[in-house]
Chains A and B, each alone.
Chain A
């Protein structure tokens, strides 16, 4: 695969191991469904972005609910979740949850064992890239990472492309939810 330039150029990869770019929602759904203990990490950009008037956080919560994925609310995401009547399964800041995830013996947010797939959604790209880099280097033996934002994240294992239009992103997320229902 030729090099993919991430949307925000400050996150350009300076290495040899970069994320597999996936555009097919069914493939994403398959990866999520195959995971034994996935985790959805929710960042504060989900409170700022919306697609067709629907807050991104609501998409995220629908994905979590559909696939029965536990959530981790970072930053102040918890506040909006509470307003929406949803209790996060865990509250850690981005660096704290990653610090726990890199320990293979961590018990996970459900105390059932560490997670094997961690999905990042709504963390600003520079912080997300750096925390994905932590997991790429120090947790590669026990977990994979995936991103759901509309940009390419080279340090993840699986990433969406840089969607040129928000409609493409919305279509992907809608399809993902449909695929996860199957």
Chain B
């Protein structure tokens, strides 16, 4: 009885928070879900897509009872086994990612509420009425003002606390439950990201309800080196946008260059298309060591933790602008701006300044003062040859390289006057600097890299924010029927294993009329390649969310617009209510929206939570080879796993035997294999025969291109009836199917997992 009362009280509290009385849609079964609320959905997913653990370490060293050896089925002093320990690590990684975005969201929201007030209306323009699909779906709240976004982010904070608690020694003991928690944390991440980006769009006036955003200059070659330069690094644009304001207000904008690395670059170019994108995070150390930046402003996430040392080495001034990374610097937030400027110029001191206005003023003044005295020239080829001669080919650089390449070979060639190999290797460099650190002969590898780094400039389309409702209305049918073969999202970090891979994949799939969506550093490197006519993919393909479009939605936090677009398809096109209705949305996406994420260079914990959040929503993600170090994948075994679904029209469980999508989190070693997997992971049970034939056409043709001819070994699993076979391969496929004794299967009218596992959601809820 007491428990019932407690549940009722809790529910009333939640209904109040989400303003349940406003009847824009009926409140679904899981408003502001807590850890157990979507557990059944997770368990159903994990039944087919079982966690695949690749332990990074044999031990647990979390508590003072350890270290505990967990090999050969041993348990630790607390009772934990190796699988559960891996799952615990995965949850921690997802929580780090989720909290990074949530804290970013909380900070920017506070900053913008202070600027505009809590009642500032959320208006994303004429073509976006469904402004917050993740927030609405997960929490049940329809945010109308910046103040409403606080309700959503406070819910995320609360859940993070409970989830983090579960990782303490002597708590959760099931790897499946840890996975469910990781899925929960990562779903919350998409709420946090959505809060951040909606706040930014509204508060900074970023582009919205538009596809054709500006093409902005990209590359270090785009920096006018005759001017002072301010470099912004990280993810949070509070200070970088304030810098632009300051320069504009003081008539300095044509006298100072502003460029960015990583997502702050993308955010700043959404605010001003005159700002420059220097490059992705893999170019951070390289660019800082060129000394081009007079002032460096750091905010948060993916910034180097040795920034003060590096800034001092190159003679740049450094301001740490957020409390997440203060580097032990003196907090000058309350100091007089001119006094800070004097100390930075005369004493070469770095400071933390947590007031964006003051940081902007100081940055501009310091840049103007120190720039004339510190023009660094790039290394000449002759100088590089001399420096390279110090290399004794000991191989230490290769041994410590996270991307495993033999840099000493490239340096050796430079010593002989040949720069071709080092130019190739620059594309593989993830910019960690370990090679230079370990070099016993102190070869200045990053300096030598200056001769390898192309001074070319490229174009990147400024991030456009959410996909428009009008676009969803146009593509909803072709995506769910399969005639647009899929949405491919290239997201996150970009540097592993080869910086050119992403552009090549984008080009391949845009040419094949997939919808290609990009975010973060992947959006940058997609533009760092030109075709024979000198065009980047942003100039070559239209910016529309439509077949053959290449769409940069923005920074890391804009990843919420990709999951948001999938939810919008279910809500706008299929007219399924989304309010607090996560299971129905996820079930729809899993079974009917042919979307596939590619986090090809994923490095960070944020990438772990972004990807895992996609997984809970039913979107599979392909990762590059190094991502096996995330320790966990979600893999099926196609011939053996459970591919039963409910045919909601017939109200009957059907064993389809069709592994679509085959995996939820998958690692592959090469871009060639990734290009074969992408079309396969876009196949969905809902495809019409025409749509399936189009998808199989791409699967077969890419298989032939990259796997040496013939037909995919698992093709028979995806052919339901003869009309599914692509016309161009009809004869060959029919012969193959006959040889292996293939039998036709009835396509499922309305495939759903609802009804195949215990759930509060009635089957009628998925019928539209």
A binds B: yes
Question: Which of chain A's residues 51-104 have a Cβ closer than 8 Å to chain B?
Answer: 74-76, 78-83, 91, 93-96, 98-100, 103
User: Do B404 and A81 touch (CB < 8 A)?
Assistant: no
Which of A22-30, A112-120, A135-143, A169-177 forms contacts with chain B? A135-143
Cβ < 8 Å to A, chain B residues 517-558: none
A126 touching B637, Cβ below 8 Å:
no
- Does B71 sit at the interface, judged by CB under 8 A? yes
The answer to whether the Cβ of A38 comes within 8 Å of any Cβ in the partner chain is no
B626 lies within 8 A of A75 (CB): no
B667 at the interface (CB under 8 A from A): yes
B404 contacts A124, C-beta separation under 8 Å: yes
By a CB distance below 8 angstroms, the chain A residues around B669 are 43-44, 74-75, 93-94, 123-124, 127
Q: For the complex formed, measure the closest distance between the CB of A131 and the CB atoms of chain B, giving whole angstroms.
A: 6
Chain A hits for B706, CB < 8 A = 76, 79
Query: How far apart are the CA atoms of A102 and B399 in the complex, in Å?
Result: 30
Chain A positions 1 through 45: 1 when the CB is less than 8 Å from some CB of chain B, otherwise 0: 000000111100111110000000000000000000000000110
B667 contacts which of A13, A78, A127, A138 (Cβ < 8 Å)?
Answer: A127
Instruction: Say how far B234's CB is from chain A's closest CB, in angstroms.
Output: 25
Name A7's contact: one of B55, B399, B497 (CB within 8 Å). Answer: B399
B72 with A130: CB separation less than 8 A: no
Assuming A79-B707, A100-B637, is B673 touching A127 (CB within 8 A)? no
Pairwise interchain contact B668-A17, C-beta atoms closer than 8 A: no
CB within 8 Å of B: which A123-175 residues? 123-127, 130-131, 133-134, 136-138, 140
Residue A95 contacts which of B404, B666, B670 (CB distance < 8 angstroms)?
A: B666
CB distance A16 to B69 under 8 Å? yes
- A140 x B628 contact (CB < 8 A): no
- Does residue B35 face the partner (Cβ distance < 8 Å to A)? no
Given that A16-B71, A81-B708, A140-B72 are known contacts, is A44 also in contact with B53, CB under 8 Å in the complex? no
* Contact among B54, B71, B635, B666 with A17 in the assembled complex (CB-CB below 8 Å): B71
The residue on B at minimum CB distance from A96 is B635
- Indicate whether B156 reaches chain A with its CB closer than 8 angstroms: no
Report the minimum CB–CB distance from A82 to chain B (whole Å): 4
The B38-92 residues at the A interface (CB cut-off 8 A) are 52-59, 69-72, 82-83
Q: Which residues of B sit under 8 angstroms from A137, Cβ to Cβ?
A: 53, 55, 58, 70-72, 82
Taking the closest CB of chain A, its distance from the CB of B427, in whole angstroms, is: 15
* B402 close to A (CB within 8 Å): yes
- 0/1 interface trace, chain B 650-664, chain A, CB 8 Å (1 if under): 000000000000000
User: Could you tell me if A79 and B708 are in contact, using CB atoms closer than 8 angstroms?
Assistant: yes
Report the Cα distance A93→B669, complex, angstroms. Answer: 8
B629 within 8 A of A: yes
| B626 proximity list for chain A (CB < 8 A) | 126-127
Chain A residues with CB under 8 Å of B629's CB are 10, 126, 130
B72 contacts across to A, CB distance below 8 A: 17, 137, 140
On chain B, the residues within 8 Å of A98 by CB distance are 52
Q: Does B125 contact A (CB under 8 A)?
A: no
Q: Is the CB of A134 within 8 A of B668?
A: no
Q: Chain A's interface: helix, strand, loop or mixed, by majority?
A: helix
- In the complex, A139 Cα to B676 Cα: how many Å? 29
Identify which of B71, B401, B628, B629 gathers the most chain A CB atoms within 10 Å of its CB.
B628
Given contacts A15-B59, A95-B635, contact A76 B673 (CB under 8 A): yes
> Which chain B residue has the least Cβ–Cβ distance from A74?
B669
Q: How far is the CA of A17 from the CA of B708 in the complex (A)?
A: 39
Compute how far the CA of A142 lies from the CA of B404 in the bound complex, rounded to whole angstroms: 31
A-contact 0/1 string along B702-723, CB 8 Å cutoff: 0000111110010000000000
B458-481 near A? 1/0 per residue, CB < 8 Å: 000000000000000000000000
Which of B401, B625, B637, B666 has a CB less than 8 Å from the CB of A127? B625
How far, in Å, is A153 (CB) from chain B's closest CB?
A: 13
Please give, as numbers and ranges, the residues of chain B lying within 8 Å of A100 by CB-CB distance: 637
When the two chains form their complex, are residues A126 and B710 in contact, meaning their CB atoms are under 8 A apart? Answer: no
Chain B residues positioned under 8 Å from A10 (CB to CB): 400, 402, 404, 629
Give how many B residues have a beta carbon under 8 Å from the other chain's beta carbons: 44
Asked if B54 contacts A133 (CB within 8 A), the reply is yes
- Give CA–CA (A133, B57) in the complex, Å: 9
B628 with A95: CB separation less than 8 A: yes
A137 CA to B55 CA in the complex, in Å? 8
- Near A by CB (< 8 A), chain B positions 379-409 give 398-402, 404
Q: Is B672 close to A, CB under 8 A?
A: yes
From A9, A76, A130, contact of B672 by CB (8 A): A76
Q: How far apart are A22's CB and chain B's nearest CB, in angstroms? A: 21
Query: Least Cβ distance of B637 to chain A in Å?
Result: 6
Alpha-carbon separation in the docked complex, A140 to B58 (Å)? 13
Which residues of chain B are within 8 angstroms of A13 by Cβ–Cβ distance? 58
- Which of B72, B668, B713 has most A Cβ within 10 Å? B668
Chain A minimum-CB-distance residue to B81: A137
Contact for A8 among B56, B404, B710, CB less than 8 A: B404
Known contacts A15-B58, A76-B673; A125/B404 CB under 8 A = yes
Produce 1/0 per residue, B562-603, CB < 8 A to A.
Answer: 000000000000000000000000000000000000000000
A148 to chain B, nearest CB (A): 17
Q: Indicate if B633 sits at the interface (CB-CB under 8 A).
A: yes
Q: Please, how many angstroms separate the alpha-carbon atoms of A82 and B697 in the complex?
A: 21
Distance A98 CA – B443 CA, assembled complex (angstroms): 41
Chain B residues near A140 (CB-CB < 8 A): 71-72
B58 close to A44 (CB less than 8 A) = no
Q: Which residue of B lies closest to A125 (CB)?
A: B404
Closest A residue to B666 using CB positions: A95
**Chain A residue at smallest Cβ distance from B69:** A16
B55 contact set on A, CB distance < 8 A: 133-134, 137
Q: A147 to chain B: closest CB distance in Å?
A: 15
| CB contact list, B653-707 vs A, under 8 A | 666-670, 672-673, 676-677, 706-707
Distance A98 CA – B713 CA, assembled complex (angstroms): 18
The answer to whether A16 and B58 touch (CB under 8 A), given A95-B52, A127-B628, A137-B82, is: yes
Tell me the nearest residue of chain B to A6, going by C-beta: B399
Complex CA distance for A9 and B398, rounded to whole angstroms: 9
Q: Are B707 and A76 in contact (CB under 8 A)?
A: yes
Q: Is the CB of A95 within 8 A of B71?
A: no
Which chain B residue has the least Cβ–Cβ distance from A47? B670
Contact of A99 among B57, B70, B635 (CB under 8 A): B635
Q: How far is the CA of A9 from the CA of B58 in the complex (A)?
A: 17
Q: Which residues of chain B in 700-752 are interfacial with respect to chain A, using CB atoms and an 8 Å cutoff?
A: 706-710, 713
Task: Give the docked Cα–Cα distance between A15 and B402 (Å).
Answer: 20
A107 → B minimal CB distance (Å): 10
| Closest residue on chain B to residue A15 by CB atoms | B58
- Are A8 and B401 also in contact (CB < 8 A) when A76-B673, A95-B628, A100-B637 are? yes
A16 CA to B401 CA, complexed, in Å:
24
CB proximity of B156 to chain A, nearest CB, Å: 31
A14 to chain B, nearest CB (A): 4
Residue of A nearest to B72 (CB): A140
Cβ-defined contact, A75 with B58, below 8 A: no
A94's nearest neighbour on chain B, judged by CB, is: B669
- A36 CB to nearest B CB, Å: 22
Q: How far is the CA of A43 from the CA of B673 in the complex (A)?
A: 12
Contact mask for chain B residues 601-643; partner A; CB cutoff 8 A; 1 contact, 0 none: 0000000000000000000000001101101010101000000
B400: which A residues are within 8 A, CB to CB? 9-10
Taking the nearest CB of chain B, how far is it from the CB of A50, in angstroms? 14
Contacts of A134 in B (CB 8 A): 52-55
Top 4 A-B residue pairs of the complex, sorted by shortest distance between their CB atoms: A15-B58, A79-B708, A130-B628, A82-B708
29 contacts between A and B (CB under 8 A): A9-B400, A10-B400, A10-B629, A14-B59, A16-B69, A17-B58, A17-B71, A43-B669, A76-B673, A76-B676, A76-B706, A76-B708, A79-B672, A82-B709, A91-B713, A93-B669, A95-B668, A123-B669, A125-B404, A126-B626, A127-B625, A130-B629, A131-B54, A133-B54, A134-B52, A134-B54, A137-B53, A137-B55, A138-B53
Taking A44-B670, A130-B628 as given, write out 12 further A-B residue pairs in contact, using a Cβ cutoff of 8 Å, ordered by the A residue number. A7-B399, A8-B398, A10-B404, A15-B57, A15-B69, A76-B708, A124-B625, A126-B404, A127-B625, A137-B55, A137-B58, A137-B71
